[in-house]
Every structure is written in C-alpha cells, then in structure tokens.
Amino acid sequence: MQKAIRVRIAGFSSALLLLLGNAVWAQQLADRPRQAGMRSLAYDATQETGVEGTVLSYTAESAIPPIGAHLVLQTADGAVDVHLGAASFLQANHFSVAKGDSVRVVGVSSATRQGTVFLVRVIQKAGQSLVLRTAHGAPLSLAGARALGAQKSQQQEGAR
C-alpha cells in the first residue's frame, strides 16, 4: 500500500513539474515579442539627423553591441560611436571606410547599456552613397543585396 502511494506521489510530482515548466516556457515566449518591439523602437525615424566628420577608427566586427561594423567619427561636437551594420553588406556594395576618411551619416542616436551609438541609415563618402537601413530602421541584409544584384544582371542581359 505504501508503495502505491509513493508511485502516485511521484507521478503527481512529475506532472506538476511538467505543468510548471510549460508555464515558465510560455511566459518566456510571451516576453519575446515585447523584447523585439523594444529593439525596433531603438530607431525612431522622426529623430533622424545628419552628422559629418572624420573617421578616427573603423572596426569591421565590433565586440561592443550592436554587433557589426563600427566607426568612431570625430565631429565638431566630439567623437561619436557609429554603427554601420554588417561589414559584409558594405563589401558587397563596394563601399569601404578607412581612418582619415571624411564621411556624412544620416541616422538616429540610440542608448545602449554600453552608451550611446549612432545607428546609420545612409552613409556618404566622396560622392558615393550607400543606404544601410530601411526608412523604419531595419538593417538591409546581404541577401537583399544579392537579390538586387541578380535583378540588375537580368536587366542587363535583357538589354543586350
């Protein structure tokens, strides 16, 4: 009789742990859209500004979030940490940045745990311009660049 009670208690405890585990997992899933929404709010297009300056340093893959290419831009108001997105996107579009380059960037300043970073939507250098984000601030992907490249090559073949 005691053995049967122990088996029932063990079964009940296992079922309870499974239910509690599912409840915790569901709560974590419910928090994800809110977290994603918080990230998308980091880019407020109504706050967009332009900044000009000289590149003090360029890093293709920064360890400091947001991950991706960063440059430090010396402006009239001081040094600004500038996030460019994926370095591979810059390379795919034949756009390079080096120390000493004079650039103009359009984007939004955003607060992070490490400090303020300028999220770039458009970068301009020596008559060359590259759009890095959509009007809503979503980073353009390398996949999108490939699709545009394929579309351009099809158009060129059709023109022959």
Per residue in 88-121, pLDDT (tens digit) is 999 999 999 999 999 999 999 988 887 889 999 9
Q: Are 43 and 119 in contact (CB under 8 A)?
A: yes
What pTM did the predictor assign?
A: 0.63
Distance CA 118, CA 149 (A): 28
- CA within 13 Å, CB half, 55: 22
Please provide residue 30's backbone torsions phi and psi, each rounded to the nearest 5 degrees.
-65, -30
pLDDT at 35: 45
Nearest to 108 by CA among 126, 130, 133: 133
Q: Are 103 and 58 in contact (CB under 8 A)?
A: no
Residue 143 or residue 56, greater confidence: 56
Mean predicted confidence (pLDDT) in 27-45: 55
Distance CA 122, CA 82 (A): 12
Residue 45 or residue 52, greater confidence: 52
Average pLDDT, the chain: 78
pLDDT at 121: 94
Mean predicted confidence (pLDDT) in 119-133: 93
Q: Are 110 and 43 in contact (CB under 8 A)?
A: yes
Q: What is the distance between the terminal CA atoms of the chain, rounded to a whole angstrom?
A: 89
Per residue in 58-92, pLDDT (tens digit) is 999 888 788 889 999 999 999 999 999 999 999 99
Is the pLDDT confidence value at 26 over 80? Answer: no
pLDDT at 152: 52
Distance CA 45, CA 143 (A): 24
Q: Are 83 and 66 in contact (CB under 8 A)?
A: yes
**What region does 51 belong to: left with phi over 0, alpha with psi -120 to 50, or beta?**
beta
Helices (H) and strands (E) in the chain, counts: 3, 6
* The two three-digit tokens of residue 129, written as one number: 């311009």
Q: Are 53 and 75 in contact (CB under 8 A)?
A: yes
